[in-house]
Amino acid sequence: MEQRAGEVGVLTARVQAALHRVRALDRRRPLLWDALLTGFFVVAALTDARGGWRNITANPHVPVGLVLLLSLMLSVPLLWRRRRPLAVLAVMAPAALVSQWTGALLQAELVQHVVVFNIALRLPLRRLWWAAALLVPPLVVGSVRFPRAGWDQLVVTPLWAFSLVALGALVVRTRQEYTASLVERARQLEVERDQQARLAAAAERARIAREMHDIIGHNLSVITGLADGGRYAAVKSPERAAQALDGIASTSRQALTELRRLLGVLRDEPADGGAGAEPPELSPQPALADLDQLLDGVRAAGLPVRFTVRGEASPLPPGRQLTVYRVVQEALTNTLKHAGPGATATVEVSYDDGVAVRVTDTGSGGAGPGGAAAGGGPGRVRGRGLTGMRERAALYDGVLEAGPLPAPAGGWRVHLRLPKDPVT
């Protein structure tokens, strides 16, 4: 049984391969295929016209010249069956009518069903009514003129053939349309896959840009503060200057480590599948537990910071902790850049229905960078910094607000609120 099933499978595969080659030839050279098919039916019709038609004719005295002409009229138009199938059938109809009227009853009339197949396959279905209107009158004429041939043979049998041919064509047409829909769906899926890949790449680029902005911006601000403090301390207190240099070195190494970790994930895999490649330096992402170290670095850069925690600390997912850390980092970085000398900062973390972070400073008069007034100038946190902070908040359905504090106290405020993680 298994052997027989295997043989059937091999036979089916061979038939499918042969059909595939025929369809490929038809697509490459349709005119050649039309000429071959038309030539076959022309030869068959002329062979029947040499005398075979007399075996079924109702009138053996039909002139041979007329039989030859009718045979050609019923076979040669097949060459245009795909481009103008209904017109081809209209050309064949008079020849079929003469064949039935004279009683020749040529078998070449069956070639009309090849045209019917193309009408059902390529044209709107309502055109089948026109095809039936062209086929039926000659059949009725023949049955009336030669009743001895039999109504069922001259009319019923051709109509059954017409129905079966049309039904077969509709099955093929449905199959082709279904296959075309699958191909189109596959194409759309490929387009959607490429779009998703581009969106994912854009999102990853934005994430990396945010990380690099936060890392480089913060550490350079700390280094700048340490360098300025070291320059003033070098005159009066060399020991303080040395401490500032140590802080610069430590901050620089930390920044380089974070950049290596971030850029290590972008390293391409080697051609040998990874053999001998050094894995990127990995370390945990910053979390709320690292805020103390962050604030120590900011204090070392010359900005006094007071840190307060309100409420009972609840565990947060790593992504939300990273968001809080980066927002505090960016807010303090902008304070270092724009608040001016003598400014102080306050960081408050509150746990209630989620987590809220408030970073304020006592910078000069609430002015933006470069001293722009709060009412019309650009905000202190601008460009990629503000955009990055809002994007981070939006990832977790959070809200971020940033702006100057009201006079007379002045200063700047950054407020972040993240709702409770629905999973927890």
Q: Note the pLDDT of residue 6.
A: 62
| Four-point Cα dihedral 85, 88, 94, 95, nearest 10 | -110
Residue whose tokens read 């702006």: 403
State which of 192, 207, 238 marks the end of a domain. 192
pLDDT along the chain (424 residues), means of 10: 64 80 77 86 89 84 91 91 91 92 89 92 90 90 80 83 92 90 90 82 69 68 69 66 70 69 56 48 71 85 88 81 87 82 89 89 57 40 68 85 82 89 65
208 closest CA partner among 384, 396, 382, 418: 384
Q: Note the pLDDT of residue 249.
A: 72
> Rounded distance, CA 58 to CA 69, Å?
18
pTM for the model stands at: 0.51
Domain count, the chain: 2
> Rounded distance, CA 135 to CA 130, Å?
9
Which CATH number is 344's domain given?
A: 3.30.565.10
State which of 192, 211, 228 marks the end of a domain. 192
Range of the domain at 339: 305-424
Mark whether 181 and 51 lie in a shared domain.
yes
State which of 192, 210, 243 marks the end of a domain. 192
Structure tokens given for 322: 């990273």
> Rounded distance, CA 317 to CA 424, Å?
9
CB 205 within 8 A of CB 198: no
Q: Where are the beta strands (DSSP E) in 237-304?
A: none
Q: Note the pLDDT of residue 366.
A: 44
Mark whether 169 and 316 lie in a shared domain.
no
Q: Is residue 273 part of a domain?
A: no
Q: Note the pLDDT of residue 63.
A: 92
Structure tokens given for 71: 């045979």
